[in-house]
A and B are shown apart, each in its own frame.
Chain A
Amino acid sequence: AQSVTQLDSQVPVFEEAPVELRCNYSSSVSVYLFWYVQYPNQGLQLLLKYLSGSTLVKGINGFEAEFNKSQTSFHLRKPSVHISDTAEYFCAVSRGGADGLTFGKGTHLIIQP
């Protein structure tokens, strides 16, 4: 079975500063990796995904993530955050097929003016 660890439950950042949200995973087989964002009282919106190929993945809203197989990490970054980025961010993995997604516990990104 696979698991996901999001190392920070909350990350406070000043507006226009860069941010990194950390995600580590554990799996005995190759996995696909995802980052989702959840705004209050809403469902999940896909930011980006890594299936194969280039380890640097660019997503929506200026976010990007880098897959590091040796460190089993998939950290999410944004060079300059905006107040509208305040939300809960979830990292997820899947082996594909019928496995569904395994999520981390989430990181609450708090943007301070």
Chain B
Amino acid sequence: ETGVTQSPTHLIKTRGQQVTLRCSSQSGHNTVSWYQQALGQGPQFIFQYYREEENGRGNFPPRFSGLQFPNYSSELNVNALELDDSALYLCASSGINYGYTFGSGTRLTVV
């Protein structure tokens, strides 16, 4: 049983640029959700994808968008990066028993 894999592990972007983060879900899981974890804070829910459709969203602006592919892998795209977007971005996959499995995250630094 493979776990959740995220790439890249770290990256540095300039304010105003765009970034794409990737996530492969655990085998057997058809739902993927993304979270933003600022330093010293708990993770905050960005959005969730089920069967390639966004079916839930937290309090994040539209410049945070995503995709889910037929193999249940997912992307998080952030446009017009701001300094406050610097955070650890976590991806979680889940199945029918609400067993959310998290990846190790992508550390994004915006300068």
Contact = CB atoms under 8 A, between A and B. Distances in A.
Contact of B55 (A42, A51, A92, A98): A98
Contacts of B16: none
Contacts of A32: 98
Interface residues of A, number: 25
Interface string B45-63: 1011010000110100000
B103 interface: yes
B56 A96 contact: no
Interface stretch (A12-20, A57-65, A71-79, A103-111): A103-111
B58 A44 contact: no
A43 to B, nearest CB: 4
Contact of B41 (A49, A99, A105): A105
B42 interface: yes
B56 to A, nearest CB: 3
Contact of B45 (A34, A90, A97, A102): A102
A43 B105 contact: yes
Contacts of A44: 43, 90, 92, 102
A103 B100 contact: no
A90 B92 CA distance: 15
Most buried by B among A49, A98, A100: A100
B100 A34 contact: yes
A43 B102 contact: yes
21 contacts: A42-B105, A43-B4, A43-B6, A43-B102, A43-B105, A44-B43, A44-B90, A44-B92, A46-B101, A49-B98, A51-B97, A51-B98, A92-B42, A99-B48, A100-B35, A100-B56, A100-B58, A101-B43, A103-B42, A103-B44, A105-B41
Interface of B: 4, 6, 33, 35, 41-45, 47-48, 50, 55-56, 58, 90, 92, 97-105
